[in-house]
Amino acid sequence: MSARIVNGKKTFIPIENNPEVLSHLAQNLGASSSLRFYDIVDLSDDFLSSIPRPAHSLIFLCSAALFHRARDEEESSMSEYTGCGAQEPVLWFRQTIGHACGLMALLHCLANGEGRKSVPPGSELDTLFQNAVSLPPSPRAGLLYDSQFIERAHMAAAVEGSSVVPSSTDPVGFHYIAFVKDERRHLWELNGSMKGPVDRGVLGEEDLLSRKALDMSIGPFLAAGEDIGASIVALAG
Residues 85-137: tens digit of each pLDDT: 999 999 999 999 999 999 999 999 999 999 999 999 999 999 999 999 999 99
- Angstrom distance (rounded) from CA 121 to CA 124: 9
**Calpha distance 234→52 (Å, rounded):** 10
pLDDT at 109: 98
Q: What is the number of other CB atoms lying within 10 angstroms of the CB of residue 155?
A: 19
Q: Is the Cβ–Cβ distance between 168 and 9 less than 8 Å?
A: no
What's residue 139's pLDDT? 99
Percent share of the chain, pLDDT over 70: 94
Q: Does position 165 have pLDDT exceeding 60, yes or no?
A: no
Interval 46-67 mean pLDDT: 94
Phi, psi of 172 (to 5 degrees): -120, 120
pLDDT exceeds cutoff 70 at 164: no
**Distance in angstroms between the alpha carbons of the first and the last residue of the chain:** 31
* pLDDT at residue number 225: 79
Domains of the chain: 4-236 (3.40.532.10)
CA distance 194 to 77: 12
Mean pLDDT for the chain? Answer: 92
161 or 177, which is more confident? 177
Does the pLDDT at position 166 exceed 60? no
Cis (ω within 30 of 0) for the bond into 54? Answer: yes
pLDDT for the residue numbered 163: 46
